[in-house]
Amino acid sequence: MTRVLVIGAGPAGLAAAAAAADAGARVTLLDSGDGLGGQYWRHLPPQRPSRREARLHHGWKHFQHLQARVRDRVEVITEAQVWAIETAGGTTARVLIGPSDAAGRESRRLTADAVVLAPGAHDRTLPFPGWHLPGVYSAGAAQALAKGERIRVGRKVVVAGAGPFLLPVAQSLTGAGATVLGVYEAARLPAIARGWLPRPQRLLRTAHKGRELAGYAFHHLSRRVPYRLGRAVVEARGDGRVEEAVIARLDADWAPIPGTERTVAADAVCVSHGFTPRLELPIAAGCAIGPDRFVQVDADQRTSVPGVYAAGEITGIGGVDAALVEGRIAGHRAAGGDPAALAGDRRLRRATTDLARRIEAAHGIRPGWTSWLRDDTVVCRCEEVPYGRLRDTAAATGQSALRSVKLTTRAGLGICQARMCGRTVEELTGASTGDPCDTSDRRPLAAPIRLGDLAELATAPNGDSA
Amino acid sequence: MSDIVPWGADPIRPAEPRPLRLTVDGETVEGLQGQSIAGVLLAQGRTAWRSTTAGRPRGVFCGIGVCFDCVATVNGESDVRLCLRRAADGDAVETQDDHDSAEGARP
């Protein structure tokens, strides 16, 4: 019996696990969190049951159905942090199981004939003056806290950044009783039209997403949440925490237009400009990364490494429909399922890649944003490296390799291992080798791990208990 | 200021939550079972609990374990991401002050 390991239990991983089980494989599904559903279906824990939790979600029934199928037929291991992956002679994942960041977690080595990587993505927030203040959140944080904990990050909240994801974030906030003062989208109308208007028949084919987006638009109209294009939060101000946000109009390149700044009183500011795929595991597995810095896959979701499949946001930011269909294809093929059974899913997948292109065309980051930075704007949050020092050091030493920029400025060397600032540092310093494997996405360990644990794992005779 | 949707007024009709208690720097803080430790603090309106080397306050930023802004010491273990760690009754949380430790480390 084929053994399939699925890493990540968001929409893509759940769909992959279910499809692999349907195709007859013995499946193990891992997630670092203690529940299933990933960030998209982030939900309340079992200790806090709610009768109408479905109201916080899209496709909640589909999630519950997938979850039931998976729980029934798949070995599910939650709180499982994969910290290394090896692909010589089948796949071996090294996993720590237990509460996050706890010392002395159970160590296991899991082997499989094929693996489906579905780790997802996290928000990318461009730095701006004051973004380090408490009360400034990534948009994803505001949503995760609202859906997963019923926390509202503020009572008067500004949502800003770029992309359709800002709309469900605002909806989650108003659904938790916060007042959303406005959603400020950096893209201007011509870019939005360029991205979203051509070939509307294709957009309709991804019917779920179309309905979901229409739902948000209606929600905003009915709640009178202003949705403003061509605007950005260019500064957050406050004494020890956010008290106000400065909003400016942007030109087509996202450079703020002087004289258009407006200050609003707010106790939370939620900002995201897109997503960064979590590439640690695919890079560790040796998968080819494309020039767009997503994992390259073929029509079967196969990566360049035999036996390694990828699905969901690490192959392109395509939303939940793309993640689900990619997961189904990946799981089915990883299990050795008949490719002829996939005709319908392949058609659907082609339609969803169209959505990723639209999002990039309409909301992709434009270079003018750097003009809202000041010399003292923190770029690397961990090491608190300000923009002026980063720029001057990179210029003075004529650096081009990312590694030397990092070592000289310390940007990206802090505890988050450049997960927050890596791509921004590359852009601001021009430090890029052009080699997609030699970027800030590359990390020696796929997940943070205590040095004590690492030493123990390295010296233990078999390395593991399993 | 952050807070939590009062369970009795939440349109998703939650069951009555069960309380738990933890301590933050020795002070007792009430939370709900199932909350993350970050959730317990945010529900109390507390938005910052760490200070950086430069002495700046930090709390939650990414909310999903990526940024490490929200770390604190939990039951003696340092650098625990509070947004990922479920609160357990009796947890002892100590906030981390990188500013102080950097000063103290100087000869």
Which residue pairs from A94-101 have beta carbons closer than 8 angstroms and sit at least 24 positions apart in sequence? A94/A457, A94/A463, A94/A464, A95/A30, A96/A447, A96/A449, A96/A453, A99/B85, A99/B86, A100/A32, A100/B65, A100/B80, A100/B81, A100/B84, A100/B85, A101/A448, A101/A450, A101/B71, A101/B77, A101/B79, A101/B80, A101/B81, A101/B84, A101/B85
In the structure encoding, which two tokens stand for residue A305, read together? 């490494």
Alpha-carbon torsion A360, A362, A368, A372, what sign?
Answer: negative
Nearest to A374 by CA among A16, A132, A12, A172: A132
Task: Please tell me which of the candidates B5, B32, B68 has its beta carbon nearest to residue A177.
Answer: B5
As given in the structure block, the two tokens for residue A352 are 């969803």
Q: What is the distance in angstroms between the Cα of A190 and the nearest Cα belonging to chain B?
A: 31
Q: Which pLDDT score, from 0 to 100, does residue A205 have?
A: 65
Are A151 and B34 within 8 A, CB to CB?
no
Query: What is the mean pLDDT for each group of 10 consecutive residues in chain A (466 residues)?
Result: 97 98 98 97 97 95 97 97 91 95 94 98 98 98 98 98 96 95 96 88 68 69 83 98 98 98 98 97 96 95 98 95 97 97 92 86 96 97 95 78 80 90 90 64 81 75 46
HEC-encoded secondary structure of A151-168 = EECCCEEEEEECCCCHHH
Whether pLDDT at B103 is above 50? no
Question: Residue A338, exposed/middle/buried by CB under 10 A (0-12, 13-18, 19+)?
Answer: exposed
Given CATH 3.50.50.60, say whether it is the number of domain A125-273.
Answer: yes
Domains in chain A: boundaries: 3-122+276-337, 125-273, 373-429
Mark yes or no for CB contact A132/B43 under 8 Å. Answer: no
Sign of the four-CA dihedral A134, A135, A140, A145: positive
Alpha helical stretches, state H, A224-300? 280-285
The 10 Å CB-count burial string (b at 16+, else e) for A384-399 is bbbbebbbebbeeeeb
Q: Which residue of A has its CA nearest to B4?
A: A151
> Which residues 75-94 on chain B approach chain A with CB closer than 8 angstroms?
77, 79-81, 83-86
pLDDT at A210: 67
Q: Are A304 and A285 within 8 A, CB to CB?
A: no
Which candidate, A18, A141, A34, places its Cα nearest to that of A77?
Answer: A34
- Which residue, among A381, A372, A376, has the nearest Cα to A391 in the 3D structure? A376
Tell me the CATH architecture of domain A3-122+276-337.
Answer: 3-Layer(bba) Sandwich (3.50)
Strands A156-161 and A136-137: unpaired
Q: Do domains A3-122+276-337 and A125-273 have the same CATH topology?
A: yes
Interface membership of B35 toward A (CB under 8 Å): yes
Smallest CA–CA distance from A123 into chain B, residue: B62
**Which residues does chain A have within 8 Å of residue B37's beta carbon, measured at their own beta carbons?**
none
Residue contact B12–A51, C-beta within 8 A: yes
Query: Under DSSP, is residue A234 helix (H, G, I), strand (E, B) or coil?
Result: strand
Domains, chain B, ranges and CATH? 18-100 (3.10.20.440)
Angle formed by the axes of helices A402-409 and A387-396, to 10°?
Answer: 120
Closest of B67, B77, B107 to residue A125, by C-alpha: B67
* CA dist., res. A69 & res. A196, Å (int): 35
**Closest CB from B43, B56, B84 relative to A132:** B56
Q: What is the pLDDT of residue A309?
A: 98
